[in-house]
Amino acid sequence: MRYTTQMDAAKKGIITNEMKTVSEKEGIDVNRLRELVAKGRIVIPANKNHKNLSPEGVGEGLRTKINVNLGISKDCPDVEKELEKVRVALDMKAEAIMDLSSFGKTETFRRKLVEMSPAMIGTVPIYDAVGFYDKELQDITAEEFLKVVEKHARDGVDFVTIHAGINRETATTFKRNKRLTNIVSRGGSLMYAWMELNQQENPFYQYFDELLEICQEYDLTLSLGDALRPGSIHDATDASQIKELIILGELTLRAWEKNVQVMIEGPGHMAINEIPANIVLEKKLCHGAPFYVLGPIVTDVAPGYDHITSAIGGAIAASYGADFLCYVTPAEHLRLPTMEDMKEGIIASKIAAHAGDIAKNIKGAREWDHAMSRARQQLNWEKMFQLAIDPEKARRYRAESQPEHEDSCTMCGKMCSMRNMNKVMEGKNINLLREDA
């Protein structure tokens, strides 16, 4: 039996090779997985032209995945430098990489990225449109916007961020409800500007059915962008954000009718206490579609440390049901991330994702922590390094400060609680002062 997309196959009762791979990775029954894909609660972004993809599932009952944003810009156009970041991100087991390139040889970078990456690849086609056509934003036509999406799909990207929820209706809501930071989404601000300059409807909203046809042809997953995500805690959970979320829920149902897979993107900057309610709202208004969040960044006053503010919010969001975390680096709001910025952002996001998985009782999450605890109790340093989220840093810290006694560290020495409890539990004496202890 033939099928067009993973969702189409799932609805027809077909178990695809991609479903089998995800089932094995997650330890979930493949028939249960298929049912959730059919319902739209799990997506498997897998473009037909991404030949070396190792598929991942995003959604209900699965491990929380992380995404790494990379790409060239006008100020930093070095393709090879960004590709080296890609190699490191893949070595660090990032499940997704988003190409946010906005200048220069975007096609070259994107094609190399797809060719080399077993991780799923995402893009934001509107970023590419200005450079692709060498036109000012106002002069790009609706048809041309759609052609850029098709170009990215043909190149093999697995999901695209499309800001279809900021239509004339949501723009009116935005104008009526003043914000402290207006529209901070880059793609959202470009789409709003295009609508205002041309006094026309958002092309991605107006021609949503044509967009779905492209998605069907390549099995391209839609990541419905949050153009009106809050860029400050002041603007969180306001009328503009919620109005757009309602529209995204309506678009989700339209996409599912055409068997197109959908993720919903979410905030943004947000106080800790608002995060649980936002997860409930998204899941309710968008019918259980997987939720893909940037952060949330829980305070606005920590430039240089936003990998931490984001990890705090990401852990809370994941624990309440967010499915996919977009990493944030220390360079957020300040510059294009360096290699070290990227590494720190990946580790922070992986910690947040795993913390959320523990709370969600995802299969294997707690067992990982239990294994680490056993290694600590046994003072098995090599095992601890192997189990660490960042083995390289753990090994380096240990090597930089060698203890007098191998079964301790330089923090506690012979007063190490693990060391002494092991001795006591074995019926041995504890000598803290003598050299022979």
Q: What is the pLDDT of residues 52-84, one digit of tens each?
A: 999 999 999 999 999 999 988 888 888 889 999
The Cα–Cα gap between 93 and 208 comes to 34
pLDDT of residue 292: 98
Does residue 127 have a known ligand-binding role? Answer: yes
Domain range holding 386? 365-425
Note whether residue 387 is domain-resident.
yes
Shared domain for 100 and 151, answered yes or no, is yes
Angstrom distance (rounded) from CA 319 to CA 326: 15
Residues 150 and 232 in one domain: yes
Q: What is the CATH number of the domain that holds 213?
A: 3.20.20.540
Q: What's the pTM?
A: 0.95
Is the domain of 50 the same as that of 167? yes
On whether 187 is known to bind a ligand per the annotation, the reply is: yes
- 186 labelled as ligand-binding? yes
407 and 343: one domain? no
Which residue from 226, 242, 235 is spatially nearest to 178, judged by alpha carbons?
235
> In angstroms, rounded to a whole number, what is the distance separating the alpha carbons of residues 296 and 278?
10
Q: What is the pLDDT of residue 435?
A: 66
pLDDT tens per residue, range 230-240: 999 999 999 99
Let me know whether 237 and 142 are in one domain. yes
390 occurs within a structural domain: yes
For residue 10, being part of any structural domain is answered with no
Does 215 carry a binding-site annotation? no
**Do the annotations mark residue 163 as ligand-binding?**
yes
412 assigned binding-site residue = yes
Any binding-site annotation on 409? yes
pLDDT, tens digit, 9 for 90 and up, residues 272-299:
999 999 999 999 999 999 999 999 999 9
Classify residue 269 by its DSSP letter: B
104-153, pLDDT tens digit by residue? 778 889 999 999 999 999 999 999 998 889 899 999 999 999 999 999 99
DSSP reduced 3-state for 272? helix
Helix (H) or strand (E) holding 108: helix 106-116
Is residue 335 domain-resident? yes
405 is in an annotated binding site: no
Query: Is 265 assigned a ligand-binding role in the annotation?
Result: yes
Say how many C-beta atoms besides its own lie within 10 A of residue 79's C-beta: 17
Overall number of domains in the chain: 2
Would the annotation count 69 as a binding residue?
Answer: yes
Find the mean pLDDT for residues 307-321.
98
pLDDT at 75 (0 to 100): 84
Alpha-carbon separation of residue 384 from 126, 398, 405, 419 (angstroms): 45, 11, 17, 15
User: Is residue 28 included in any domain, yes or no?
Assistant: no
Give the confidence band of 430 by pLDDT, cuts at 50, 70, 90: confident
